[in-house]
Amino acid sequence: MALPEPIERLISLLKKFPGVGEKSARRMAFYVLQEGESFGADLARSVGELNRRLTTCEKCGNLTETQPCPICGDPLRDRSLLCVTETIEDLVSIEQSGLFNGLYFVLGTSLSPLEDRESLPEETVRLLRKRFEEYPIREAIIATNPRIEGDMTFYALLDALRDVPVKKSRLAYGLPVGGSIEFADRVTLHAALESRQEVRE
Ligand SMILES: [Zn+2]
């Protein structure tokens, strides 16, 4: 049975979410309908405001309403440590663990064995290298995920920073191979940060 067009349209949009199939999308769509007009309006407004109010930090790539973001603008952050992540979600997970007080740089991209690319985009590398001129960075903590994309990205980063004379380390013990930083719990992240391995080039 075909459903009325407005609900079919919502279902087809919800199905685009990661991990959401036809059934879950239908349940969510009917939930929105049942909750009534004010919930639907709130939801629509929140979604609309995401792109209108949020932008990425010019310095680190974090999501922000201000330039620079509150992390880059915080004078109490340790400017000698730079943590490089693949995604904003990874930055958020590390930040919410409360275990890291340095600065970040979000690549916003990863290398993949399915693509032909062997290096990071030039503009990303340029912005990243600028951080090392701007801040007195002593150590770059490369927080790429423990899976093939993260490994490839890690080596591309080492290559992009090979002439930058700072200590380079990678998150270590605790993160399951094939797992992700985004879903790691605080204890695991703590272990991974504490036992990060210095990279010998
Ligand atoms: Zn920032």
What are the structure tokens assigned to 145, written together?
């995920």
Q: What distance in angstroms lies between residue 104's CA and the mean position of ligand 1's atoms?
A: 7
Phi, psi of 68 (to 5 degrees): -75, 180
Q: Answer yes or no: are the C-beta atoms of 14 and 29 closer than 8 Å.
A: yes
Q: What distance in angstroms lies between residue 201's CA and the mean position of ligand 1's atoms?
A: 28
Q: What is the DSSP letter of 143?
A: E
For 84, 172, 173, the CA distances from 111, given in Å and listed in that order, are 14, 20, 22
Phi, psi of 80 (to 5 degrees): -95, -5
pLDDT value of residue 84? 97
pLDDT value of residue 160? 94
pLDDT at 29 > cutoff 70: yes
Q: What is the 3-state secondary structure (H, E, C) of 22-54?
A: HHHHHHHHHHHHHHCHHHHHHHHHHHHHHHHHC
pLDDT at 184 > cutoff 90: no
Q: What is the 3-state secondary structure (H, E, C) of 66-129?
A: CCCCHHHHCCCCEEEEEEEECCHHHHHHHHHHCCCCEEEEECCCCCCCCCCCCCCCHHHHHHHH
Q: What distance in angstroms lies between residue 83's CA and the mean position of ligand 1's atoms?
A: 12
pLDDT value of residue 174? 67
Q: What distance in angstroms lies between residue 132's CA and the mean position of ligand 1's atoms?
A: 14
pLDDT tens profile 75-119:
999 999 999 999 999 999 999 989 899 999 999 988 988 888 888
Q: What distance in angstroms lies between residue 163's CA and the mean position of ligand 1's atoms?
A: 24
Measured distance CA(29)–CA(35) in Å, rounded: 10
Q: What distance in angstroms lies between residue 69's CA and the mean position of ligand 1's atoms?
A: 4
List, in order of start, the domains of the chain with CATH numbers. 5-53 (1.10.8.420), 56-198 (3.40.1360.10)
Q: What distance in angstroms lies between residue 108's CA and the mean position of ligand 1's atoms?
A: 13
pLDDT band at 11 (very low <50, low <70, confident <90, very high): very high
Q: What distance in angstroms lies between residue 173's CA and the mean position of ligand 1's atoms?
A: 27
